[in-house]
């Protein structure tokens, strides 16, 4: 393993961009995002982890995006557009963005945000600006395809591309040319949104890096069926002659789910991808590496062994394991990643092949401390069993219960055991004790979920896996955020060399 790959010993906070406080219904790249960077600095943190920042579709999951390359227009800050003269304050405040500040109302955002952003587009003089033209050139691999896809989707009342008229569904050349001309202004609008997304994100990232904060971002292994990627590059996915999936992604039944998890993403044709040198993956990795300092590959295990479910099976009970590209794709990633680094989300069944690939790449894996709180002493997720420093340890992630929610369900006997392990005298001190245990571990990186720092219950949980609706909505209140005593984390960072 090369020294270059090892992550600097340090700590950070997991907080999605969508959860940042703002008066406009969802977190953005505006003033409060810069405040959060300052908060991290004051807390002695050197990492900020975010969830995928792509445009969300049905179900609001950042892991089911309309594009593996594009950014979420909801994150474009409206205050910055006001400062640039592209919007008036009256236009922005005349919309009702939310009923309550701690919940994202995605339906309301969908109905209002694009109307406001369209006004900014109409007033913009971006079309001949050198920065915009350079952006279009640098993103030529995906930008036009994505913008055409979104314009056509809007033209067909936002239905999935499999329900479009047959000629454009199959991307007949004459049809692509027809819609490219018919929807020329709409296409430019979607390009403009990507330009402003990237412009604002790059400024925020530069500020974070200036403050000594590295940004960790997620890359989902799979892409959504209803995406520009599958519509444009259908030959790279397991689709039949009608462009419908043959097999889909998921994980098999286990102790947590008798039916397993059927995610529904189309599977890759790895053999076809290999034939063209994994071009699509090269471009994707380059894009993600330009967004983040460190990339967390979600479901890393699927690169070695992936679960294939017949598309007509409503659950995951009929699937089978298949062999993934493994080291071949890792070579492509290494070639395309530039100076960015990798974290491998290796949670699940660690086969010999997965362990070997991790060892070969030197990528750090993950440990979820919450998984260890049930014991026994031999549990791999307890800090005293960490066998290497080359890992990223979390209190929990977006898919887990909050610590407070988890502990609330424990019996007195279980609480006594956990309290004894972390050397605290009462349940009230337990969460601080767990965070201290995380910081004091040998793990190179310790990440605390923001909800755990705030001691919030499961009402603040981000996601319940295998469910649709009600997820991805939690937002941080400005009052909660301002009341946090950063000296606690700063002291831990100093004590434990983070």
Instruction: Give the pLDDT confidence of 405-436 residue by residue, as tens digits.
Output: 999 999 999 999 999 999 999 889 999 999 99
Q: Which residue has the tokens 């998921």?
A: 250
Helices (H), 327-427: 327-336, 352-361, 403-408, 412-421
Residue 396 structure tokens: 């929990």
Annotated catalytic residue, options 83, 165, 335, 399: 399
Q: How many CA atoms lie within 13 A of 172 on its CB side?
A: 9
Q: How many other CB atoms sit within 10 Å of the CB of residue 90?
A: 8
Annotated catalytic residue 79: no
Burial grade of 253 (CB within 10 A; 0-12, 13-18, 19 or more):
middle
Say if CB 446 and CB 438 are below 8 A apart. Answer: yes
Helix (H, G, I), strand (E, B) or coil at 390: coil
Q: How many other CB atoms sit within 10 Å of the CB of residue 127?
A: 11
Measured distance CA(461)–CA(442) in Å, rounded: 27
Measured distance CA(265)–CA(168) in Å, rounded: 22
User: Global pTM?
Assistant: 0.96
Annotated catalytic residue, options 32, 77, 293, 345: 345
Burial grade of 412 (CB within 10 A; 0-12, 13-18, 19 or more):
exposed
End-to-end CA distance of the chain: 22
Q: Name the residue among 324, 346, 344 with its Cα closest to residue 334.
A: 344
The pLDDT value given to residue 2: 41
Helix (H, G, I), strand (E, B) or coil at 404: helix
Annotated catalytic residue 102: no
Measured distance CA(179)–CA(156) in Å, rounded: 12
Segment 50-75, tens digit of pLDDT: 999 999 988 899 999 999 999 999 99
The pLDDT value given to residue 1: 37
Q: Name the residue among 342, 322, 345 with its Cα closest to residue 271.
A: 322
Q: Which residues, other chains included, contact 427 with Cβ-Cβ below 8 Å and sequence gap of 6+? A: 407, 415, 419
- Output the tens digit of pLDDT for each of the chain's 498 residues: 343 468 999 999 999 999 999 999 999 999 999 999 999 999 999 999 999 999 998 889 999 999 999 999 999 999 999 999 999 999 999 999 999 999 999 999 999 999 999 999 999 999 989 999 999 999 999 999 999 999 999 999 999 999 999 999 999 999 999 999 999 999 999 999 999 999 999 999 999 999 999 999 999 999 999 999 999 999 999 999 999 999 999 999 887 678 888 999 999 999 999 999 999 999 999 999 999 999 999 999 999 999 999 999 999 999 999 999 999 999 999 999 999 999 999 987 788 999 999 999 999 999 999 999 988 999 999 999 999 999 999 999 999 999 999 999 999 999 999 999 999 998 899 999 999 999 999 999 999 999 999 999 999 999 998 777 889 999 999 999 888 889 999 999 999 999
Annotated catalytic residue 298: yes
Alpha carbon 316 to chain centroid distance? 24
Say if CB 392 and CB 344 are below 8 A apart. Answer: no
Q: What is the set of domains in the chain, with CATH numbers?
A: 3-495 (3.20.20.80)
Measured distance CA(390)–CA(362) in Å, rounded: 8
Measured distance CA(424)–CA(418) in Å, rounded: 9
Say if CB 72 and CB 197 are below 8 A apart. Answer: yes
Angle (deg, nearest 10), helices 327-336 and 352-361:
30
Helix (H) or strand (E) holding 52: none
Say if CB 12 and CB 46 are below 8 A apart. Answer: yes
Q: Name the residue among 476, 477, 478, 470 with its Cα closest to residue 106.
A: 470
Measured distance CA(239)–CA(267) in Å, rounded: 9
Residue 493 structure tokens: 């960072």
Cα distances (Å, whole numbers) of residue 19 to 198, 291, 339: 19, 19, 28
Helix (H) or strand (E) holding 214: strand 214-219
Annotated catalytic residue, options 298, 346, 401, 452: 298
Residue 99 structure tokens: 């009923």
């Amino acid at each position: 393993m090369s020294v270059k790959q090892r992550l600097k010993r340090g700590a950070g906070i997991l907080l999605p961009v969508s959860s940042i406080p703002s008066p406009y219904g969802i977190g953005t790249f505006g003033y409060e995002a810069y405040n959060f960077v300052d908060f991290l600095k004051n807390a002695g943190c050197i990492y900020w982890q975010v969830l995928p920042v792509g445009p969300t579709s049905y179900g609001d999951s950042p892991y089911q995006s309309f594009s593996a390359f594009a950014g979420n227009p909801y994150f474009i800050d409206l205050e910055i557009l006001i400062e640039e003269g592209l919007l008036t304050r009256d236009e922005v405040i005349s919309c009702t963005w939310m009923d309550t500040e701690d919940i994202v109302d995605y339906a309301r955002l969908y109905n209002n945000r694009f109307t406001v952003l369209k006004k900014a587009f109409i007033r913009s003089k971006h079309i001949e600006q050198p920065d915009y033209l350079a952006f279009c050139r640098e993103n030529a691999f995906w930008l036009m395809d994505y913008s055409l896809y979104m314009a056509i989707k809007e033209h067909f009342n936002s239905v999935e591309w499999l329900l479009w008229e047959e000629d454009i569904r199959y991307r007949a050349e004459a049809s692509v040319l027809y819609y490219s001309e018919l929807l020329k202004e709409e296409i430019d609008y979607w390009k403009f949104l990507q330009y402003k997304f990237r412009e604002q994100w790059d400024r925020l990232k530069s500020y974070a890096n200036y403050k000594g904060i590295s940004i960790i971002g997620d890359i989902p292994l799979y892409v959504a069926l209803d995406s520009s990627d599958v519509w444009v590059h259908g030959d790279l996915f397991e689709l039949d002659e009608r462009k419908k999936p043959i097999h889909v992604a998921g994980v098999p039944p286990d102790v947590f789910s008798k039916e397993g998890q059927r995610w529904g993403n189309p599977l890759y044709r790895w053999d076809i991808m290999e034939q063209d040198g994994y071009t699509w993956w090269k471009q994707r990795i380059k894009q993600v590496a330009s967004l983040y300092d460190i990339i967390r590959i979600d479901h890393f295990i699927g690169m070695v062994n992936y679960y294939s479910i017949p598309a007509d099976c409503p659950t995951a009970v009929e699937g089978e394991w298949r062999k993934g590209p493994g080291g071949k794709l890792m070579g492509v990633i290494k070639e395309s990643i530039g100076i960015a680094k990798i974290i491998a989300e290796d949670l699940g069944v660690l086969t010999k092949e997965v362990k070997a690939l991790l060892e070969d790449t030197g990528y750090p894996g993950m440990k979820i401390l919450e998984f260890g709180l049930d014991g026994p002493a031999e549990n791999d997720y307890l800090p005293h069993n960490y066998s290497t420093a080359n890992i990223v340890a979390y209190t929990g992630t977006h898919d887990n219960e909050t610590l407070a929610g988890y502990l609330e369900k424990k019996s007195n006997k279980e609480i006594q055991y956990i309290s004894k392990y972390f050397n605290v005298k009462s349940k009230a001190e337990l969460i601080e004790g767990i965070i201290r245990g995380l910081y004091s571990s040998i793990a190179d990186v310790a990440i605390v979920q923001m909800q755990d720092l705030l001691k919030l219950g499961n009402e603040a949980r981000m996601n319940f896996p295998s469910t649709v609706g009600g997820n991805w909505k939690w937002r941080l209140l400005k009052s909660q955020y301002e009341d946090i005593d950063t000296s606690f984390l700063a002291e831990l960072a100093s004590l434990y060399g983070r």
